Each structure stands twice: as structure tokens, then as C-alpha cells.
Amino acid sequence: MQAEFMFDVGSPNAYLAHKVLPEIERRTGVSFTYIPVLLGGIFKATNNKSPMVAFADVPNKLAYEQLELTRFVKKHGMAFTFNPHFPVNSLLVMRVLTAAQLEGNLTACLNAAMHHMWEKPKKLDDVEVLRAALAESGLDAAHLIEQSQNQQVKDALLKNTQGAVARGAFGIPTFFVNGAMFFGKDRLRDIEDEVTRAMAVH
């Protein structure tokens, strides 16, 4: 069973999916592999745009997107607060997370980044703000930020991003279950159904 979650903490929908995935993991017994990617890189490679840009001239669409988000947050009882600095350039924080993953410490770092982006929102594209946020969460901020500038880390994030596009990704969150792609937080039920079906087959 191969279950993958491609994410960028700059995406509110990635946060929402991240908060729900543990429920799916508990119910199915399947652990998702988290793959850090750069949403801006995916957009550029696929000529895609964020909903706020793509539907800027469709106010009813944007209003409905906000309504759906509010319903999702309420349903799952999340402590979500829309980041007033949105969109936040996520390059630095995603390199930090890639560095943490290479060191085997992604979970703690990711939970901290999500918290400071979407629960107690901060401008995480400011290196000093990010440094303080990581330290506040008990992480070695100086080490993580230093490691984020290593070429190995930069190359790993680029490879993840290019690999996501090559597999069909055009936005975030994107999931793969045994190679089958699913996009968006509204596909989480379908993802769980596919995981359950695949496990039954095996």
C-alpha cells in the first residue's frame, strides 16, 4: 500500500487535509507518506493559478469557496485562522521542512509550521519571524534554517516538485493511493474509500 500526500504549508487546503489525515490513518491503519513540494513551482510548471487569482472576477465563486472552507473547519472542529499575510511565499519554510524530513524530524517541524501559518498565523517568509516561530515550538531554529540553504535540500525540494508535476499534479493538496491521483481536500472521502478498497484486495 502506497499512500502519499504532497503538501505546501502555504496552502490553506493543505493544512485542512493535514488535520484530517490522522483520522483516516486511524480508521484504515495506513500511514501516508508526506512529500514537501513547492506550490508556486507547480503553478508555474502547469500554468495554474490560485483560486483567488483565477476567480478574481467571479465574486460568487470566491464567496462559495470561503463558505466551503468555513463548513469544513466547523465540521472537524479546527483552530483555523486565515493568515492575514496570505499569500505567504513558502520557499523558505518548505526548504526548512525538506531539511527536517532529510533528518527524520518532519512531523514535529511540520506541525509547528502549520500551527504558525494557520492557527496562530505569522509572516513565515520573513526569516526572523520563522526563526522565532520554530524556536517557540521547541525546535532548533538556527540549525533548521542553516540546513535549509544546503544544496542537497534545495535539490530535494525541486526534485519533489518536478516529480509531482510529472505525475500529473497541478495544485495542492495532491494525493496518490497506489499511483491513483486525487486532488483537493474535498476528495478525502474518496481517498479513504480507495485505501479501504486497495487493502481489501491485498
Residue pLDDT, tens place only, 54-74 = 888 999 999 999 999 999 999
The answer to whether residues 101 and 118 touch, using CB atoms and an 8 Å cutoff, is no
Low-confidence ranges of the chain (pLDDT < 50): none
**Domain residue spans in the chain?**
3-201
- Cis upstream peptide for 173 (omega within 30°): yes
The pLDDT, as a whole number, for residue 150 is 97
| Entry pTM | 0.93
pLDDT value of residue 200: 85
Non-local CB neighbours of 99 within 8 Å, separated by 6+ positions = 144, 147, 148, 150, 153
CATH code of the region 3-201? 3.40.30.10
